[in-house]
Amino acid sequence: MASRTALVTGASTGIGYATAIALSSAGFTVYAGARRLEKMEPLKQHGITVLPLDVTSEESMMSAVAIVEAAHGRIDVLVNNAGYGSYGSLEEVPLAEGRRQFDVNVMGLARMTQLVIPGMRRARSGRIINVTSIGGKIYEPLGAWYHGTKFAVEGMSDSLRLELKPHGIDVVIIEPSGTDSEWGALAGEGLLMASGSGPYREQAHIVAAALASTSGTGHVLSTPAKVVAGTIARAATAKRPRTRYPVGRGAWSVLAMRRILPDRAFDAVFWNFYRRLAG
C-alpha cells in the first residue's frame, strides 16, 4: 500500500483537505492540489506533498499530473473533489458564471480524468473517485447551474465506469450531504448577491438560510468533513468498491425520498423543509 499514489484536487479546505489526510493515514503517497497553497501548508506535517492546481488551467493540470507520474510512474487513485456551488436564478446569473461553474465542476474533472487514464490503462489498474453530491440526484430552486453540473458528473461517471472496466480501472461516485465546511455559507452568499434583491428575493433568502445550515460544526445538516473523507478512503482501498457512496446526515433518507415520491410531492416536502430550516 505504501507505494500506491493518490492525487486529490480541491484539497485546500473541507472534504479535499480531510481526504488527503485520510489517504495518507491509509498508506498512500498523497499529492494534494489546489489554488491556495498556503491553506495546504499544514498537510506537509502528514507527509503530504502539496501542488498548485487550478482545474480551469490546462497548464496547471498537466503540470500536476506530470509531477506525480515522473516521481511514481502513474497515479493509482485520483480524487476529483475540486468544485464550488453557484446559486441564483437562471434568469439573473450571467451565462459567463454558468460556464465557469461547468468549467470547474465538470470540465476540470473531465480533463483531470483524461490526463490520468493513460497511465492507469498501461498498468491495467486504477481508481477514479468523483465527489458529486446528493445534489446530483435532487434539486433546489435557484440551483440550476450547480445541480446541472452534479447531474452531469453522475451521468459521466456511470458511462465512464463501463468504459474503463475492461482496462481494470474503477470509477466511484461519492454523494455527500452538507459538510462542516465553508461551502454552504459561500454558496448562500453568492446566491444573495445574484438574486437577493430581485424578483426571486423571497426564495433566495430561504434557500440561502438553508444552505448556511449545512455549514459549520453543529448545524442540523452538517457532517464533519472527516466522515466523508473516511468514506473516500474506504472507496480507495476496497477490493471491489461500490459504485456509489451516499454519506452524511440525511443523505440516505433524502435519496430514498427522492426515489419514492412523485416529483410534485417531493417538491412540496423539500420546499416546506427548507422553509422550516430558514425559520
Which residues does the annotation mark as catalytic?
146
Nearest Cα neighbor of 137 from 115, 155, 117 is: 155
Structure confidence by residue, pLDDT tens digits, 258-273: 999 999 999 999 888 8
Could you tell me what percent of the chain has a pLDDT over 90? 82
More confident residue, 248 or 34: 34
Q: How far apart are CA 173 and CA 79, in angstroms?
A: 10
Query: Would you place residue 2 in the very low, low, confident or very high pLDDT band (cuts 50, 70, 90)?
Result: very low
Q: Answer whether residue 144 shows pLDDT above 90.
A: yes
Q: How many residues would you count in the chain?
A: 279
How much is the pLDDT for 267? 94
> CB under 8 Å to 224, separation ≥6 — which residues?
18, 179, 180, 217
Quick check: 24 pLDDT over 80? Answer: yes
DSSP secondary structure of 202-268: HHHHHHHHHHHTTSSTT-TT-B-HHHHHHHHHHHHH-SS--SEEEESTTHHHHHHHHHHS-HHHHHH
Residue 1: its pLDDT value, please? 44
At the fourth CATH level, the homologous superfamily of domain 5-180+224-256 is NAD(P)-binding Rossmann-like Domain (3.40.50.720)
Q: What is the 3-state secondary structure (H, E, C) of 199-210?
A: CCHHHHHHHHHH
Residue 218 neighbours by CB distance under 10 Å: 6
Rounded to 10 deg, the angle between the 183-195 and 201-212 helix axes is 170
pLDDT 10s digits, 98-123: 999 999 999 999 999 999 999 999 99
Tell me how crowded residue 89 is: count the other CB atoms within 10 A of its CB. 19
Contact 10, 52 (CB under 8 A): no
Q: Quick one: pLDDT at residue 3?
A: 73
